[in-house]
Amino acid sequence: MIATATPFYLAVLLSAFFLFHAVRSAFVPLHVDEAIWLLQADHLQWAYFFHPPLKTFELFLATRVMGRIPFALRIGSVTFATLAIFMVFKLSVELFRDRRWAFMTALVFALFPLTNYWMVVGHQEGLFIFTW
């Protein structure tokens, strides 16, 4: 049953993850690290002391389109975290050759505390794990 309905379940998982964290990110106040990222996005450079500039460029675009709100800082991280879950599914299909196990792997990855806390706030983890 789950093997034939896996695309539907995966779409539900990805949609629920994205919507939950997008709505949650609109109401949670800024974290100190997110404020630092926001300041870095105001002053673009080619490199920074601690991190490469890709996350800062993404925040620069998001804040210019949506304004200086917490949602604009986090929507990129929520998007990349959701795409990372999809990439885990695709890699698991290649590894296991079974969509059922690949869905279970994506589900477990979506339920990790790292995925639900650090990858969806305005940090670089969602982008880095997706591009890794």
Tell me if residue 119 falls in helix, strand or coil.
Answer: coil
- Angle CA 83–9–98, to nearest 5: 85
CB-facing half-sphere around the CA of 67: CA atoms within 13 A:
3
Tell me the pTM: 0.86
127 close to 76: Cβ distance less than 8 angstroms? yes
Cβ-in-10-Å burial (0-12, 13-18, 19+) of 36 comes to middle
Reported as a single tens digit per residue, the pLDDT across 75-132 is 888 999 999 999 999 999 999 999 999 999 999 999 998 888 877 776 777 777 777 7
